[in-house]
Amino acid sequence: MEFLNWVRGPGLEYATVIFLVGIFMRFIEMWLIGRKPDLSRPRASASRAGWRAVWRRSLPSEGLMKNSPLVLIAGYVFHIGFLLVLLFFIPHIQFFKDVLGFGWAGLPSPVIDFLSILTIAALVALLVHRLIDPVRRFLSTSQDYIAWVVTTLPVVTGYMAMHMDVVPYTTMLALHILSVEILMVVFPFTKLMHAFTFAVSRYYNGAAMGRKGVQL
């Protein structure tokens, strides 16, 4: 219980501060880098091209579906499944309600269980593919594997806390919360930050190309 109380109290506070300050610092870093002013005559609407790029590059790529369908399908399953479990598991909603002051309807537990298993399976498939594909294995760095571990642990420990009596429930719940806090601490300083920056980068690249008249 002492361990559980710590991760629910001071541990969560520390992780939240690091998470928020880290994200703020990363955005400040991006802003300080800046960009050179484009003095050329615009040939098309930059903003329209930017939003088009955000939308189009969020859709499945024909080339990726043809050459690497596993990566595409598992990637979508993992991202969607993780988000749904995070936002629509009823105990999670209660936590958000305590913090934000409001909540929303959740999904039935069997649906959450199914999504959790799908998410874990997708994450394992992505890891195996990274290990056996020579190109991806060559391009992978330690940061890729760290990101995989800290993303997978909350889903696995959460599922184990609800369905497996490997260790006492109180201990497993504390480990689950701790794994979430580790994810929060690591998040701003790894490639996981793309969850906040992907739309910005796609818009920036699309707007730059659109201003030059490039069709995306």
H/E run at residue 100: helix 90-100
3-state secondary structure of 141: coil
Please state at what angle helix 142-163 crosses helix 169-186, rounded to 10 degrees: 150
Cα angle 78, 153, 29 (rounded to 5 degrees) comes to 75
C-alpha 57: how far from chain center = 17
> What does the block give as tokens for 31?
């802003």
Mean pLDDT across the chain, nearest whole number?
86
Pairwise CA distance, residues 189 & 71, whole Å = 24
C-alpha 29: how far from chain center = 20
Query: Is the CB of residue 7 less than 8 Å from the CB of residue 183?
Result: no
For residue 174, is pLDDT > 70? yes
Pairwise CA distance, residues 27 & 199, whole Å = 13
Q: What are phi and psi of 106, to 5 degrees?
A: -105, 175
**87-130 pLDDT tens trace:** 999 999 998 998 888 989 999 999 999 999 999 999 999 999 99
Which amino acid, one-letter code, is at 173?
A: L
Number of Cα atoms under 13 Å in the Cβ half of residue 116: 23
pLDDT at 213: 65
Give the residue-averaged pLDDT of 17-42. 81
Scan for tokens 């790894």, then name that residue. 190
> What does the block give as tokens for 84?
């749904």
Give the residue-averaged pLDDT of 55-79. 79
**8-22 pLDDT tens trace:** 999 999 999 999 999
Give the residue-averaged pLDDT of 126-154. 92
Which amino acid, one-letter code, is at 150?
A: V
Give the residue-averaged pLDDT of 142-149. 93
**186-199 pLDDT tens trace:** 999 998 998 888 77
pLDDT band at 69; cut points 50, 70, 90: confident
